[in-house]
Amino acid sequence: MNNSIKTAAKTMAAVIAAGAMAVAPVAGTINFGAMTAMAEATVPKSTDTAAIKVSGITNGEGVVVKAYKILEAEYSDEGFKDWKKLVTYTGSTKDPYLPTANEMKTIIQNNLSNLTATTLTYNATDADFEATVGAGTYIILVEKTAENDVSIYNPMIVSAGYRDSVLQQGSIDAGGNFVVDGQTAYAKKTDIPLTKKITNLDGQSGNPSKSSANAAQNDRADGEDLQVGDTGKFEITTKFPAYSSAYKDVTFTLTDTQGKGLDVPTHFAVKVDGAEVAQDASKYTIATSDIDKDGGKVANDFTVTFTSDFVLKNTGKDVVVTYQSVLTDEAAQRLNPNTNKVELEYTKDIKENTDKKEDYTYDYSFPVTILKKGEDSDAAALKGATFKLTRESKTGDDYATVNEWSKTTDDNGKITFEHLDEGTYTLKETQAPTGYSINDATYTIVITPVYGDDGKLTSYTISATNDKDTTYSFSTTVSANKATEDALEISDTKMAGLPATGARSALILTIAGIAVMITVMAASRRKKIAD
Paired with 323 in beta bridges are 234
Same domain for 95 and 19, yes or no, is yes
CA angle 439, 440, 441 (to 5 degrees): 95
Beta-carbon contacts of 427 under 8 Å, excluding residues fewer than 6 positions away, are: 370, 387, 388, 389, 390, 442, 443, 444, 445, 464, 488
Last residue within a domain, chosen from 347, 363, 379: 363
Mapped onto helix, strand or coil, the DSSP state of residue 399 is: coil
How far are the Cα atoms of 150, 385, 387 from residue 408, in angstroms, in the given order? 55, 5, 6
Paired with 356 in beta bridges are 345
pTM for the model: 0.74
Same domain for 111 and 158, yes or no, is yes
Q: How far is CA 470 from the centre of its chain?
A: 45
CA–CA dist 120, 126 (Å, integer) = 13
CA–CA dist 477, 460 (Å, integer) = 6
Closest CA to 441 of 410, 459, 424, 465: 465
CA–CA dist 254, 268 (Å, integer) = 13
How far are the Cα atoms of 36, 129, 188, 210 from residue 124, in angstroms, in the given order? 37, 9, 22, 34
> In the prediction, which pLDDT does 17 show?
34
> In the prediction, which pLDDT does 32 show?
38
Mapped onto helix, strand or coil, the DSSP state of residue 144 is: strand
Half-sphere exposure of 117 (CA within 13 A, CB side): 13
> In the prediction, which pLDDT does 393 show?
57
> In the prediction, which pLDDT does 142 show?
92
CATH classification at residue 300: 2.60.40.740
Contact between residue 273 and residue 317 where contact means Cβ atoms under 8 Å apart: yes
CA–CA dist 372, 492 (Å, integer) = 8
CA–CA dist 156, 169 (Å, integer) = 16
Same domain for 281 and 241, yes or no, is yes
φ/ψ of 511, rounded to 5, equals -60, -40
Sign of CA dihedral 501, 504, 508, 510: positive
Mapped onto helix, strand or coil, the DSSP state of residue 14 is: helix
Same domain for 283 and 346, yes or no, is yes
Same domain for 255 and 359, yes or no, is yes
Same domain for 309 and 389, yes or no, is no
Closest CA to 495 of 439, 432, 437: 437
Same domain for 125 and 42, yes or no, is yes
Last residue within a domain, chosen from 316, 338, 363: 363
CA–CA dist 135, 67 (Å, integer) = 13
Specify the length of the chain in residues: 531
Beta-carbon contacts of 458 under 8 Å, excluding residues fewer than 6 positions away, are: 213, 450, 451, 452, 479, 480
Last residue within a domain, chosen from 134, 166, 191: 191
Same domain for 359 and 378, yes or no, is no
What is the count of structural domains for the chain?
A: 4
Same domain for 18 and 158, yes or no, is yes
Same domain for 217 and 306, yes or no, is yes
Closest CA to 232 of 194, 184, 269, 197: 197
| Residue 116 burial (CB count, 10 A) | 14
At 105-116, the pLDDT tens digits run: 899 988 988 999
> In the prediction, which pLDDT does 530 show?
55
Closest CA to 362 of 137, 244, 198, 488: 198
> In the prediction, which pLDDT does 3 show?
37
> In the prediction, which pLDDT does 237 show?
95
Closest CA to 430 of 460, 455, 450, 405: 405
Burial class (CB in 10 A: 0-12, 13-18, 19+), 135: buried
Same domain for 392 and 326, yes or no, is no
Domain range for 358: 194-363
> In the prediction, which pLDDT does 212 show?
37
- Strand (E) or helix (H) holding 502: helix 501-530
- Taking 70 as the pLDDT cut, the residues of the chain under it are 1-41, 201-221, 291-298, 376-378, 392-402, 496-531
Give the strand pairing for 170-173 and 50-55. Answer: parallel
Q: How far is CA 134 from the centre of its chain?
A: 46
Same domain for 487 and 385, yes or no, is yes
